[in-house]
Structure 1
Amino acid sequence: MGPLDATGPGSLMTFDGSPVELSWVIPSNNSKGSANRQLRFAIEPIDPRTGQLLRGDEVLRYLTSPEGSMGLVKCDKTALDWSIVTQKFLYSGSDDDQIDGDAGKRFFIGFDFERSGEIVLKTYYLPSPRPMPHRVLRGSLYPTTVNMWDVDYRPLRGLLTTLDPTLIKSLEAMISYTEDAELLSKPRLQILSMDCVPNEVNRLKVIAITWIISNVQVAHHLPQLYCRPTRGSSWSDAQSAFTLGGRLAPSKMGPALARLEKLWNLLFPFANTASNRDLDDIVRPEEQILDDCHRGTSDHPNGGLLYYYSLVPGTDMVLPKIYLPVAFSILS
């Protein structure tokens, strides 16, 4: 997690730059047993000597070695295949052990504590921001196939063909939705994620966001390609992105939408589903002055809605999740 003197870049995982996030899975009502909760945490790995960010493949090699795993990390023979392929797809041409402090080539790793006592790893890759034209001409940045905040998901077909060609069926639904959505409402690519499990039971997770960005940022990012839209955090926006504009099976999405609507109205009575007000357009007095560590940046916006789409091999299913901005939008 880096040296105590906090040298090097701050993490993009959190608003204050801390390189760790904690979470747990609350089971459904039919889960049995007293020890049925799953604890999890994720970190952005940082060299304790230099404070610089570390490459994903180096971290994975260590954590799955006899020394690094301490006999606790579960890693089957093909469990790292998807992660290594994804890193090469996003960051081809870069062989440095450490990475620079911008948003490009950044890597998070998650640790899921299983009831068996084993630890299962998850990997998260942030694509590089799209370089400005003059930097491309000088050759100072490596070209990438997809970039952070892109809205064109078609280049991901190449990655999915290598991971598992059956994933493309699910991707096509996302491509169809983003092609039809208004430009500023398209979910913007932020993270590609996967579990460190055998290929046949893995899934690709595409994380995207919608939020308001400045005109300068629009000029840099709009011409090209997890999923944050540039604008759109009303109930109708959430409903549309959550169902991919109705492309996901209504019979399965109906109950989920009903529960989501109930939760939305409880959290955001000032922007309830009937009013359809945009969360980002409503600033309460206590939010007008934010300390520096909670101000959004172009790399880590603090508004908008975050979407998480799981693509499952062998099916055309897209399993959606939505992350609601409770830190800045709820009443207390």
Structure 2
Amino acid sequence: MSHPEIFQLRKSFWKDKTENLLIALLRISEYPESQIAAYRDFYASYVTPQLGPRPEEFGARRPSSYMADDFTPIEFSWAVDANGTQTIRFTMEPLSPTDGAPSPVSTWISSLESLCPYTARSGFDLRWSKICHETLVQDANQEIWADDVSKHGSQFSIGCDFTRSGLVTGKSYFLPHIRSKSTGVSCSAIVTGCMLRLGLETPWTAVYNFLRTLPSGLEVTPEIVSVDCVEPCKNRAKVYLRTNAATLQSILEVMTLGFSLTDPMVAESVHVVRQLWQLLFPTAGQEMTIISHNEQHYASGFVIYFEMVLGVSLPLPKVYIPVRHYCDNDLSIAEAVSSYFVNSPKQYSSVEAIRNLFTHRSLATRTGIYTYVGCAARRTGPQVSLYISPEVFAPEHET
């Protein structure tokens, strides 16, 4: 089969499995049709070519992306601001068109540079992304742990927000675990060096000093650093921490840095996390430890990120509840999120519409479509997010 024929087959496959889902999410969120058309063109020209081969091209070897449990290299999210504005976003890992492995380190900055035509060009800036690239990843052959679900070989992903202006906002994500393994330097030390280069020593010190006070049984490890593709004065760095904390009380303790973040913005988001917790885990109290269904998986733990900007001494947190590893099935997750929005008709309608987009299996079968439910402290009020995997490589698609 010729390369053009392979490319066309891949284009059709990824359109069917992911692009159509994106278009449906944009329509559910009431984006204008003109913007939907523009974002469809962006997705087809920028995203699809980086998603790698179709499942039947892998043979015995499976795809290796860390993005989802079935290794689908893209995840969508539906975010709702306190004022009701709905935004669709995605994060994807660029994969090699040859074998579906993570793309080479040397290609990542050029992949980000290719975003520029789709963004507000005057503000597009990769200075912080380049610092992260220099300080966080390993420029060497990536070690893939194909038979160990507790590890993975991914180091980089790209994110975009589909704004209401018709332009995308680009984001880059860097994972320091392979650099840590290769150099023997801890992820905490590697991330600290990156934050110093970014000029974020003060807010990061607040996080780092808290982490040093944690009891030995409570593990909190920096997993990802993300920055936007904008100039430093408008940028933000987000450090994602993976933790084995599994009680509401311990998660809130990490989220608030030992309850030292007392800003009303944080207090409001804590209240929302409590509400979501009660809906997702109705039998679990504040001190009850909830058990992961897949404890050895690298994505099993809860995630808290801290967002830092220049000139601000304290960070803002966000909690990610890994519902795919803690809830019984996707139906229970959808019902919990619907219950949260029951008094917000537009948002409730959107959640109900989203749950009807997936026809390859019953939501009641298992988890995997809904990956995380998140709540972020924002200056305009708490932002709630629902993260969605297309499950492209799920076994139900193979039958």
Calculate the TM-score normalised by the size of structure 2. Answer: 0.61
| CA-to-aligned-CA distance 1:38-57 (integer Å, 9 cap, x gap) | 22111110111232311455
1:82 pairs, out of 105, 122, 128, with 128
1:119 deviates by: 1.6
Q: Is the 8 A contact 1:77 1:198 kept in 2?
A: yes
Query: After superposition, where does 1:251-266 map in structure 2 within 5 Å?
Result: 251-266=264-279
SS at match of 2:212: helix
Q: Is the 8 A contact 1:104 1:126 kept in 2?
A: no
2:215 pairs, out of 182, 188, 192, with 182
Q: Is the 8 A contact 1:75 1:197 kept in 2?
A: no
Matched, 1:43 2:97: no
Q: Could you say what the CA RMSD is over the residues aligned between the two structures, in angstroms?
A: 2.6
1:62 deviates by: 3.9
Matched, 1:58 2:107: yes
CA distance in 1, matches of 2:275, 2:137: 41
CA distance in 2, matches of 1:73, 1:46: 22
Deviates more, 1:235-244 or 1:155-164: 155-164
Partner of 2:302: 305
1:100 deviates by: 4.5
CA distance in 1, matches of 2:316, 2:232: 18
Query: After superposition, where does 1:140-151 map in structure 2 within 5 Å?
Result: 141=182, 143=183, 145-147=185-187
1:104 deviates by: 4.9
Matched, 1:160 2:195: yes
CA distance in 1, matches of 2:175, 2:189: 17
Change (3 A) 1:144 1:112: farther
CA distance in 2, matches of 1:178, 1:10: 31
1:124 pairs, out of 154, 159, 173, with 173
CA distance in 2, matches of 1:112, 1:252: 22
Change (3 A) 1:253 1:58: same
Higher helix share: 2
Match for 1:89: what amino acid? Answer: T
Q: Is the 8 A contact 1:90 1:144 kept in 2?
A: no
1:322 pairs, out of 311, 319, 322, with 319
Change (3 A) 1:123 1:144: farther
Match for 2:252: what amino acid? Answer: Q
CA distance in 1, matches of 2:284, 2:306: 25
Query: After superposition, where does 1:1-332 map in structure 2 within 5 Å?
Result: 1-4=51-54, 5-6=57-58, 7=61, 9-29=63-83, 36-55=85-104, 58-65=107-114, 71-76=117-122, 79-91=125-137, 94=139, 99-102=142-145, 103-104=152-153, 106-129=155-178, 130-131=180-181, 141=182, 143=183, 145-147=185-187, 153-164=188-199, 167-211=200-244, 232-249=245-262, 251-273=264-286, 276-280=287-291, 295=294, 297-298=296-297, 300-302=298-300, 304-330=301-327, 332=332
Q: Is the 8 A contact 2:64 2:100 kept in 1?
A: no
1:259 deviates by: 2.6
| CA-to-aligned-CA distance 1:58-85 (integer Å, 9 cap, x gap) | 23314534xx76x324455761111111
| CA-to-aligned-CA distance 1:186-222 (integer Å, 9 cap, x gap) | 31111111111111111111101123xxxxxxxxxxx
SS at match of 1:184: coil
1:233 deviates by: 0.6
Aligned length: 268
Q: Is the 8 A contact 1:63 1:73 kept in 2?
A: no
1:9 deviates by: 4.4
Deviates more, 1:246-255 or 1:38-47: 246-255
Q: Is the 8 A contact 1:45 1:53 kept in 2?
A: yes
1:255 deviates by: 2.9
Change (3 A) 1:237 1:328: same
1:144 deviates by: 6.2
| CA-to-aligned-CA distance 1:284-326 (integer Å, 9 cap, x gap) | xxx6xxxxxxx5645x232x31111111211112110111132
CA distance in 2, matches of 1:56, 1:325: 28
CA distance in 1, matches of 2:97, 2:277: 41
SS at match of 2:194: helix
SS at match of 2:283: helix
Q: Is the 8 A contact 1:90 1:146 kept in 2?
A: no
Q: Structure 1: which 5+ runs fail to align?
A: 132-140, 148-152, 212-231, 288-294
Calculate the TM-score normalised by the size of structure 1. Answer: 0.72
Q: Structure 2: which 5+ runs fail to align?
A: 1-50, 146-151, 333-399
SS at match of 1:208: strand
Change (3 A) 1:84 1:76: farther
